Amino acid sequence: MKIIVLGGDGFCGWPTSLKLAGAGHQVTIVDNLSRRGIDLALSSGSLTEIASVHDRIAAARQHVGDVCHENTDIAKDHAALRDLIAGVMPDAVIQFAEQRAAPYSMIGDSERRYTVDNNITGTHNLCSALVDIKPDTHLVHLGTMGVYGYSREFGKIPEGYLDIEIKSTRQDTQILYPANPGSIYHMTKCLDQLLFQFYNKNWGLRVTDLHQGIVWGVETDETRLDPRLINRFDYDGVFGTVLNRFISQAVNDVPLTVYGTGGQSRAFIHIADSARCLQLAVENPPEPGERPRIFNQVSEVRSVRNLADMLADQWGAGIRYVTNPRKELPENELEVENAGLQSLGFKPTLLNNRLIEDVRFIADATRKNFNADNVLSSPRW
Ligand code: NAD
Ligand code: USQ
């Protein structure tokens, strides 16, 4: 298949691009490298030293398969995006190219506006270009579990649509699950869902929206093939996600930074599972005419406290309970349906010592890049 991967230089997009190229697909990465720019602006960045995109592509072509890169801003340069789509005429486009950190989106006015402008306009430019140029393309979007909020208010979280009964008519129906975002970033993912609903209703655009949990881990089989293919490893208080942060903290003798009580339950998925799910979604498109297909891309649910206790028991790491910088439920239960991807062949990998040791090994090898000033750098909201 011909596949365009928007945001293919990022943490999830890079291993996914390699996975798809390794499976024989022709992959065009479109990335404006804005994330590398944000690393510099925040004086943070990846623990692993990621190669330039030029070197990444050279190594990918040598070891993995057919991958190229175009430097285009999909939010700001609509004409270039249209030209690209017309040039490639893709079977599928994967949309990873959004500003993805909740804390970054809550820093202040310019970050709030950037996150909304970048995420909503980029995704809308894509929908608008596809229906004009190649309307049968399968659009695969990375959404988030955060669109649902994280509660059991409506029971187990279904895959996108909630079964309801209309009180006045006693009719059963399904509605898009009520959006309940906890940050400007998560809000953009809720708005993306409405764009897909309308483009699907009006033009029949084929969409798979993957509501992904927190991704952890660093390497996949493909990123290990050459040091130039190594994936990024965020550990800072803005872009770092909780489990990778905790592992890097434990290795660097920093007490694990549990926000609040640590009673927050979240869904998790390993980076290799994430790339595998993307491959399954792309290779099994929805039927023409189907409403936007929504899958929860998650492997298991864990609480923050449970993760911290696990690392404390295993490695003797200290734990520091800090005032939660976020406005979120202090404690929550979470149960998530994930039958959709499993029906396509996904077998979730649960947290295990070997995979945790893999991350610890990388964190240990990159200790010199760990800057303790970046650990508690989250804004408050
Ligand atoms: P990332 O920041 O590492 O990668 C995003 C990539 O998109 C970057 O390389 C960036 O340069 C590029 N990009 C951003 N705006 C762009 C634009 N306007 N034009 C072209 N390129 C642009 O993020 P990630 O962790 O790889 O996340 C990718 C997607 O997956 C995001 O949409 C995110 O919401 C979603 N997701 C991530 C996680 C996670 O834990 N990392 C979990 C759930 C969902
Ligand atoms: N947390 C801590 N200590 C830390 C960091 C985080 O206790 O040092 C807590 C947070 O308060 C939160 C939970 O851990 O309750 C998760 O935080 P996170 O930063 O790991 O994840 P989050 O902000 O939710 O965002 C990440 C990705 C985002 C994706 C989302 C999926 O950055 O792109 O959409 O995970 S989900 O959480 O399922 O909505």
Kindly report, residue by residue over 63-86, the tens digit of the pLDDT: 999 999 999 999 999 999 999 999
What average pLDDT score do residues 254-266 get? 98
Q: Please give the pLDDT value at position 153.
A: 92
Q: Please give the pLDDT value at position 192.
A: 98
Q: Please give the pLDDT value at position 103.
A: 98
* Nearest CA owner, ligand 1 atom 42: 214
CA of 188 to the centre of ligand 1 (A): 13
* Nearest CA owner, ligand 1 atom 34: 100
Q: Please give the pLDDT value at position 127.
A: 98
Residues acting as catalytic residues: 144, 185, 189
Q: How far is CA 325 from CA 321, 330, 363, 381, in A?
A: 12, 11, 25, 6
Q: Which ligand is nearest to the CA of 114?
A: 1
Q: Please give the pLDDT value at position 163.
A: 97
What average pLDDT score do residues 270-275 get? 98
List pLDDT tens digits, range 326-371. 999 999 999 999 999 999 999 999 999 999 999 999 999 999 999 9
Q: Please give the pLDDT value at position 4.
A: 99
User: What confidence category does residue 380 fall into, taking pLDDT thresholds of 50, 70 and 90?
Assistant: very high
- Regarding the beta carbon of 115 and ligand 2, being less than 6 Å apart is answered no
Percent of all residues in the chain with a pLDDT value above 90, rounded to a whole number: 100
List pLDDT tens digits, range 201-241. 999 999 999 999 999 999 999 999 999 999 999 999 999 99
User: What confidence category does residue 38 fall into, taking pLDDT thresholds of 50, 70 and 90?
Assistant: very high
Q: Please give the pLDDT value at position 266.
A: 98
Q: Please give the pLDDT value at position 88.
A: 98
**Domains of the chain with CATH codes:** 2-233+270-297+335-349 (3.40.50.720)
What average pLDDT score do residues 114-137 get? 98
List pLDDT tens digits, range 171-181. 999 999 999 99
CA of 206 to the centre of ligand 2 (A): 29
